[in-house]
Structure 1
């Protein structure tokens, strides 16, 4: 009896002891499990480091912008997505706040996984008996998009693990920047910059509160909330975002009301390229795109003037225009063809096509003589018939005027005085001046073209030629034309400032009226200079000039190269050039300084005739040589001892030894002097049976 009582008294103590032992075991088990989990977590952490390279896998969509940041051309990236990554500093603060408010309000307080949000989501899902909340942080969403996993519990665990790793690797601002650059915003639109430009025609940095709230609400269901397809749903979602921002004290009640009342105004975003040829050229030079020097205001005005002008030209005519900012050496406008959408000719960029410039090179021929002080504007030069190695050039009007001034010869674009000048100065020197000013002539242009180079018997393109006139407008400083605002442009002196002032004055609109601008009285504002050119066969009509602010070049012709009687520089190209240089956006009302009269130290001869024309004395024209072995030896010579450049079948003879070893066949041997004179003979080498 007594033992039972004592046993009952001890039972609570025994039960308490057993409970303590159980609790100790549980604690030890939990500790052991915790240690085991920590070890496993550490092993996973070290075995599976965060794949940082995957953060770089999202390709950018190349975008070409004008100088003011307006879109000229955009194309999808390699993954067929629109994506334009930008740093967080170039994203509107409203957009960052709106995204945090609606997607991850505790973003700056958690370490990648928001435990409180997870607990809340579990409770909501259990009560609703369906998934109504996911508790994914911005960091977790980045990790999901990085691997593009399906939404399963296992995937959620992996995302959480990767999110913890990512938070240790970088800053919160960098994580926010990553999210804003890769999140989906409807269709194949990725990132806020692409969304802002496609939906509102502006950069992400320029979004107002209402626009930022609308874009921030898209990632939850991009297809359902797209403002271009479902504006009502987008507006409702915008209201949800604004309410979250108000609840998080990110905006005031007044800002909330104003943003909510603001209508959704989508910009008239251009779906076709603007400044098409310049845009595609920029993309070819920089496949990733970039900000160009093109000014779309100037481009639009030039395109309008081209459309007005082309109606006055023969059917099927093409027009190309280049506008260069002289000070910045920046291409401000480029028109490559009349209609870039034309399936036959639209893709041809006439501004880069090699064509014969006609008389447009003559200013640089005279500039070479001015630099040597062999001529000045008032020097007398002979305009009478000449013959050079069987070539008898003529002026455009087939008339000769005798002794005239250099200024008159250049203003009237006479061929004979220009040829005489090139002959007297030396064609090699003239070509060097042309090249130094920016015209990239073909290799050995002097040898291949001879004196005909002075009248355009070489090929160049409109961009180079316009840039050469920009050199004249820059006082003789050559700069490469730039198409990107970040280009490093440096100047090199090509001509003296006095020479340029003289050439500019001779070709000034104060000295002669411009076709198409006869309504501008002499001495009035809108000063400019220009020179025209017409290629052989009237296949190309040119007009190029500058007004000290801009250099402008105009080409008119047909891409297939057929000529028209109307394709004369002064008729087809000059009127358009004059309208461009005097339009409001480009005109210059400042009168240039008076040109000096250059001293002449060693004047060129009036006639420029040579004592004896260049001719090849051996071999004789039409002669034949016997080939007894592998090759025949042919001696060659000319009637001059001066340095000559020799060509065999239009190939340069590198070593001028006076002897050729040639196999059987027919050959043309040609020599060219430094002055541009040339002579040629033909001969044959035959085998002996």
Structure 2
């Protein structure tokens, strides 16, 4: 015979087994399985930047309980389910009361649903029938079996219907009230508490009077829990809600992060709302002055943290005519001249130059590559500082030729700036003028090196991203290049002072064909990059970095209270100012005065003063020895001198620069004219002269005929001469021999001939297409 207590144990065991079996047979639907959270991307303060709805176009902003106002949680549990914290998922007293009201009134007066039951209906929708209510009760018990009270309340807070396409208290608070749910007032907490009861009929943006009546019912219920003055103030507050609109700040960054940060419903970013709004407003304002289909992009990064504060991938996300959906922050485009600061910094680190090294801005050929300047003019002798400030192309190519194209690209990559080349292409000298592609976000991270003692960074878009920094250049090189970009270097500071843009060091760039206009710059606090152009690559004649990108860059820096660096940066160890000489490049104190015709104040790094680059055309040492007649002072050679003579020395200028020297300087630094007694062998008529074409002559090309040619000779020298065409060495001939010059295309041709004694002649001719 089975004893009674054993019967109860067996019955309990069977019941428990049945519950477990049913629980396994009918598992709880995973919360959000069929309708997952919308992805919301938020700023650093939690403000939504952009929300991506689910497949049903429902917006949900996931939020934890500790991120919701306690007033809302208190009102929710007091009004909706007073026994929430102790019942097992179902409140039998509430169910009995609801059933009795139904029998008495013949209709449903109160549903008797607990918060747990409402969550059960959210995750497993059931019809409003007796069978549906029974299923809802069973699901509620199942929920309590698997989840804590806090978990259940969290599900309600995130999934409760709030009217229209909104679900969850955070989405409703942001959409209706324009604030996060942790800042709700008493009146607002009561409003959002009652809203799920009839979300379509109580929407505060459409039915404010109806919503206020329902809200006041909650407030009166809270009397005794909230202070009387707080309830009175809340009751006097009118219901107001803004119209529903999708948040749309930094939309392209949000889209970028949605793709990269998968399996996250809430993506936090480093974006500062005020900074983002300011930058977007500046871009929209500037876009109004630009032709159709021209877009803009800009990015602002904090140098100390590498956090991106503002990210605008297009001019106006609502303007599809301007390719609003194309993110130009991450598009690979030709950077034009924006790589030049890195080139000069690397050359400083390699001991190739100092800030005032002599460079040649003249027509030159580098193994067949003949760069020209944007202004289609040349400046002759220039310093590194002048070449960088004026963004001269030929001097940059001259320095890159010394450093090496492949090495330059590798050094950029080492610092985190990877260039994209066309398929099968290798680094060449054209890379410094935009012959490769770069991305704006990478460029901003690399430019930060000039403000971070040579350390480039990888921009951080989310707070959890690890900080990555790479040594791009030395601290000394970063300081010198930044000083040049900001003030023009020692000479620029002495002549012009700090200038109108004190505290900002930037560089512009324009790609071939006016397709891309860039401006990238730094202050002590921020690094900023700007791009202007058409995303489809169509040229914009007349658009270049200095006139369309740089003004926007300056406006962005000025928009930040601490955007400029008003205090000068301290000079790092190893950097000093020294007087140097042209043309040799050495310190003034290290050479003889007669070998130092021009003095410059330069930034010296590492205590070294690199010499001027060796002459690319003419052989020989940096110092020229010659002889002069003691009586006349004219130049002679020992074998033709008829009287006493003295030996003299002068510093040799690069041969490509001699024709560009100022007349007074040329007279001072070049050897004097030849004496008559030596004229027969070296200079019979007092100088050399190109014959066969006249300076300024126009040559016409006949259609269908061979390229025009000219046979040129030299009068005045029998020594070996070098012939250059547009800076390219085309031949070495003795003065008595003929040099043939061919003109393959229409245009201007500069022809120069010179010998080892400093004699030269130069003419320019124009070739025009014939009719």
Q: What aligned pairs does 1:110-509 form with structure 2 within 5 A after superposition?
A: 110-246=87-223, 249-267=224-242, 270-271=245-246, 273-287=248-262, 288=264, 289-314=266-291, 316-344=293-321, 345-442=323-420, 448-509=426-487
Post-superposition offset of 1:508: 0.3
Question: Which structure ranks higher in relative contact order (CA pairs < 8 Å, sequence separation ≥ 6)?
Answer: 1
Give yes or no for contact 1:462–1:555 (8 Å, CA) kept in 2.
yes
Residues 1:45 and 2:19 are matched in the alignment:
yes
Corresponding residue for residue 645 of structure 1: none
Unaligned 5+ segments in structure 2 are 576-603, 620-771
* Structure (1/2) with the larger helix percentage: 1
Length, aligned pairs only: 575
Secondary structure, in 3 states, of the residue corresponding to 1:460? coil
Q: Quick check: 1:446–1:453 contact (8 Å CA) kept in 2? A: no
**Secondary structure at the counterpart of residue 542 of structure 1:** strand
Give the superposition deviation at 1:39: 6.3
**Corresponding position of 1:579:** 555
State the secondary structure of the residue aligned to 1:77: coil
* Contact kept? 1:381, 1:607, Cα under 8 Å: no
Query: For 1:147-176, what per-residue CA distance to the aligned partner results, in whole angstroms no more than 9, with x for missing partners?
Result: 211122233233323323332333222222
CA shift, 1:511, in A, is 5.8
Unaligned segments of structure 1, at least 5 residues: 1-27, 515-519, 612-689
Deviation of the 1:405 alpha carbon: 1.5
Cα 1:189/1:33, change in 2 over 3 Å: farther
- Matched residue SS, 1:541: strand
| Equivalent pair of 1:445/1:458 in contact (CA under 8 Å) | no
Residue 725 of structure 2 aligns with which residue? none
Query: How is 1:647-658 mapped onto 2 (pairs within 5 angstroms)?
Result: none
Deviations 1:373-408 (A, max 9, x none): 221112222323221332221222233333322111
Mapping 1:533-572, distance limit 5 Å: 533-572=509-548
**CA 1:306–1:87 in 2, change beyond 3 Å: closer, same or farther?**
closer
Kept in 1, the 8 Å contact 2:205–2:240? The answer is: no
- 2: distance between equivalents of 1:471 and 1:377? 18
Q: List, as ranges, runs of 4+ consecutive aligned residues in structure 1 with deviation greater than 6 Å.
A: 31-37
| Residue-by-residue CA offset, 1:287-332 (whole Å, 9 max, x unaligned) | 4451222223122222333344345545543222221221121222
Measure the CA separation in 2 of the matches of 1:373 and 1:445. Answer: 33
SS in 1 for 2:308: strand
> What is the deviation of 1:605?
1.7
The match for 2:635 is none
C-alpha distance in structure 2 between counterparts of 1:414 and 1:422, whole Å: 13
Quote how far apart the aligned CAs of 1:608 are.
4.5
Q: In 2, distance between residues paired with 1:535 and 1:399? A: 18
How far apart are 1:53 and its partner, in Å? 5.0
Per mean C-alpha deviation after superposition, the further-off stretch among 322-331 and 76-85 is: 76-85
Change (3 A) 1:307 1:224: closer
Q: Is the 8 A contact 1:525 1:591 kept in 2?
A: no
Once residues 147 and 556 of structure 1 are traced to their aligned partners in structure 2, the CA distance between those partners, rounded to angstroms, is 52
Whole-Å separation in 2 of the counterparts to 1:162 and 1:269: 33
Hey, what's the Cα distance between the residues in 1 that align with 2:301 and 2:617? 40
Following superposition, the deviation at residue 213 of structure 1 comes to 0.6
Q: Alpha carbons of 1:560 and 1:134: their partners in 2 closer, same or farther (altered >3 Å)? A: closer
Matches of 2:464 and 2:354 in 1, distance apart? 40
Q: Displacement, 1:230?
A: 1.1
Q: Deviations over 1:469-519 (max 9, x none)?
A: 1122222112211111221113222211111000100000476999xxxxx
User: Cα–Cα, structure 1 residues 66 and 607, in superposed 2: closer, same or farther, change >3 Å?
Assistant: farther
Contact 1:298 1:585 survives alignment (8 Å): no
Is 1:330–1:483's contact at 8 Å kept on the other side of the alignment?
yes
**Greater mean alpha carbon deviation, residues 364-373 or residues 39-48:** 39-48
